[in-house]
Amino acid sequence: MLNETILKSKFFHPSDYSYLINIDFSFSMLPLVCEEDEPLLIILVHTSVNNFGKRKVIRETWGQSENNIKILFFIGMVEGYDIQNKLEDESRQYQDLVQGSFIDSYHNLTYKHVMALKYVVYHCAKAEFILKVDDDVFVNIPNLKKFIETYNCQHGMLNKIFCSRLHSPPVLRKGKWKASLVDYPENNYPTHCSGFAILYPQDVLYLLYSKAQRTKFFWIDDVLVTGILAKNSNISHIGLENLVLSRKDIHNIVDLSFTNINKPFLFGDINLNEHQIRSLWAFVINHTSEASILDYLNY
The answer, as to whether pTM is greater than 0.85, is yes
Express each pLDDT in 111-142 by its tens digit.
999 999 999 999 999 999 999 999 999 999 99
Could you please report the per-residue DSSP string of 122-181? HH-TT-SEEEEEETT--B-HHHHHHHHHHHHHHT--TTEEEEEEE-SPBPPSSSTT---T
Q: Are 204 and 132 in contact, with CB atoms under 8 Å apart?
A: no
Express each pLDDT in 238-283 by its tens digit.
999 999 999 999 999 998 887 778 889 999 989 999 999 999 999 9
Express each pLDDT in 220-242 by its tens digit.
999 999 999 999 999 999 999 99
- Please name the amino acid found at residue 262: N
Q: Is the model's pLDDT at 98 over the cut of 60?
A: yes
Q: Are 171 and 188 in contact, with CB atoms under 8 Å apart?
A: yes
Q: Are 40 and 128 in contact, with CB atoms under 8 Å apart?
A: yes
Q: Please tell me the predicted confidence (pLDDT) of residue 1.
A: 39
Q: Please tell me the predicted confidence (pLDDT) of residue 262.
A: 80
Q: Please tell me the predicted confidence (pLDDT) of residue 9.
A: 55
List the chain domain ranges: 4-242
Nearest CA among 143, 138, 140, 133 for reference residue 199? 133
Nearest CA among 256, 13, 45 for reference residue 131? 45
pLDDT band at 11 (very low <50, low <70, confident <90, very high): low
Q: Are 226 and 161 in contact, with CB atoms under 8 Å apart?
A: yes
| CATH architecture for segment(s) 4-242 | Alpha-Beta Complex (3.90)
Q: Are 128 and 201 in contact, with CB atoms under 8 Å apart?
A: yes
**Is beta strand 69-77 parallel, antiparallel or unpaired with respect to 23-24?**
unpaired
Q: Are 38 and 126 in contact, with CB atoms under 8 Å apart?
A: yes
On the 0-12 / 13-18 / 19+ scale of CB atoms within 10 A, 35 is: exposed
Q: Please tell me the predicted confidence (pLDDT) of residue 299.
A: 79
Q: Is the model's pLDDT at 37 over the cut of 90?
A: no
* Average pLDDT rounded to a whole number, residues 190-216: 96
pLDDT band at 8 (very low <50, low <70, confident <90, very high): very low
Please state, as a whole number, how many other Cβ atoms lie within 10 Å of the Cβ of residue 45.
25
Q: Is the model's pLDDT at 5 over the cut of 60?
A: no
Hey, is 256 helix, strand or coil?
A: coil
233 Cβ contact list (under 8 Å, min separation 6): 207, 208, 211
